[in-house]
């Protein structure tokens, strides 16, 4: 933002008349990652890049052939950023992992937040070894979410 500063030169005895100067503060470019809350009235939480999450997930899905494991938002400030090396895999081969709302080569533009989900098909009571990952071309920062997933 812009700030107006009144400058006065003084020798300790007398001072000059004030002179206004405009100071412009420019935010450093950055890419923010938010984890979106699924709770009613919940607040999205600011996560940091590089991002890494490891764990296990057990889900019972009613009436759907997929489950959403997480929802995130990317917010570019001061410049655009490019997604590269996007991958969603299941090392066990029992399900199909995918990103929804994010693509390889996609540009994240200031003022246009990008929301994406980590989605999987059901595992049929078997264990999937899923990894969701991408890299930010301009900074080298990475996102990695790994889970052992079991669904109905």
Return the pLDDT at 4. 87
Strands, sheet with 107-108, edge to edge from the N-terminal-most edge strand: 51-59, 142-151, 127-136, 81-90, 107-108
pLDDT tens digits for range 30-74: 999 999 987 767 788 999 899 999 999 999 888 899 999 999 999
Query: Within the chain, which residues score under 50 in pLDDT?
Result: none
From residue 29, how far is each of 35, 52, 79, 92, 113 by CA, in Å?
Answer: 20, 22, 6, 39, 15
Spatial neighbors of 133 by CB under 8 A, at least 6 apart, are 85, 86, 87, 88, 142, 143, 144, 145
**Cα 4 from chain centroid (whole Å):** 34
* Closest listed residue to residue 117, CA positions, set 70, 149, 85: 70
* Closest listed residue to residue 48, CA positions, set 139, 147, 149: 139
Return the pLDDT at 11. 83
The answer to whether the beta carbons of residues 87 and 96 sit under 8 Å apart is: no
The answer to whether the beta carbons of residues 100 and 109 sit under 8 Å apart is: no
> Coil, strand, or helix at residue 131?
strand
């Amino acid at each position: 933002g812009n700030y107006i500063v009144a400058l006065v030169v003084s020798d300790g005895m007398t001072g000059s008349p004030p002179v206004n100067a405009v100071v412009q503060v420019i935010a450093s470019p950055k890419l923010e990652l938010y984890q979106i809350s699924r709770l009613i009235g919940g607040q999205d939480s600011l996560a940091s890049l590089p991002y890494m999450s490891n764990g296990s997930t057990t889900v019972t899905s009613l009436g759907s052939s997929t489950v959403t494991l997480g929802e995130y938002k990317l917010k570019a400030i001061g410049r655009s950023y490019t997604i590269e090396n996007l991958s969603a895999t299941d090392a066990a081969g029992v399900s199909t992992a995918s990103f929804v709302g994010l693509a390889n080569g996609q540009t994240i533009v200031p003022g246009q937040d990008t929301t994406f989900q980590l989605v999987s098909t059901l595992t049929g009571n078997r264990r999937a070894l899923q990894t969701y990952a991408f890299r930010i071309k301009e900074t080298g920062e990475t996102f990695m979410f790994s889970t052992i997933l079991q669904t109905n």
